[in-house]
């Protein structure tokens, strides 16, 4: 089953253009709003918190600040995989998580990408499962190059609604 989308990008985009940070999880492309990213750091030792929810991997000490680490694979119910040195931690702005320092584990970080309203299909209603409510929209990066039949690679990117995700985490 799939989630329904709407081509009305005004529902999830503010303006004609926006910027997202592209990253991968389980060999799929994802994105989040660049304006909520504080920094990207290499994987470092994570201290496990006993009895924490399954999606809270633990905490790190980032230059003297304690940062809570969320495993997006667990939270989004993607296949679980061990944490490796090659993975990255995207540290988010504290306002995203109610003033808490929070980072999310991703497999790789690719780029900051400018997107146009015409590339976005916003999620309006979902029948794909509860976790799909955290999908803001689908970004289509395949566009024919002018005068050719060639398409740029990448394809579809799942645009996550991190704000909605952390609002739900705060409720629990």
Any idea which architecture 4-142+149-171 has in CATH? Answer: Beta Barrel (2.40)
State the pLDDT at residue 17.
Answer: 83
Farthest CA pair distance, the chain: 58
CA nearest to 87, candidates 103, 75, 102: 103
What pLDDT, in 10s, does the model give residues 103-151? 999 999 999 999 998 898 887 655 455 657 889 999 998 764 444 444 4
Burial code of 79-109, b = ≥16 C-beta within 10 A, e = fewer? Answer: eeeebeeebbbbbbeeebbeeebbbbbbbeb
Contact (Cβ atoms closer than 8 angstroms) between residue 98 and residue 15: no
Q: Where are the domains of the chain?
A: 4-142+149-171
Count of other CB atoms within 10 angstroms of residue 171: 6
**Cut 0.85: pTM above it:** no
pLDDT of 15 above 80: no
Cα separation, 104 vs 127, in Å, equals: 26
Cα separation, 69 vs 80, in Å, equals: 15
Cα separation, 107 vs 31, in Å, equals: 12
């Amino acid at each position: 089953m799939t989630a329904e989308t709407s081509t009305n990008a005004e529902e999830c985009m503010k303006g004609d253009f926006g910027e997202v940070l592209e990253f991968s999880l389980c060999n799929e492309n994802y994105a989040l709003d660049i304006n909520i990213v504080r920094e990207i750091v290499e994987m470092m030792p994570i201290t496990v918190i006993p009895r924490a929810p399954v999606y809270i991997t633990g905490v790190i000490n980032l230059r003297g600040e304690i940062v809570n680490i969320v495993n997006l694979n667990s939270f989004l119910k993607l296949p679980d995989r061990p944490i490796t040195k090659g993975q990255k931690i995207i540290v988010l702005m504290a306002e995203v998580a109610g003033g808490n320092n929070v980072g999310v584990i991703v497999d790789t970080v690719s780029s900051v990408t400018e997107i146009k309203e015409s590339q976005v299909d916003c999620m309006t209603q979902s029948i794909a499962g509860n976790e799909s409510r955290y999908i803001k929209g689908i970004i289509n990066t395949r566009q024919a190059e002018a005068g050719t039949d060639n398409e740029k690679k990448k394809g579809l990117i799942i645009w996550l609604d991190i704000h909605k995700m952390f609002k739900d985490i705060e409720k629990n």
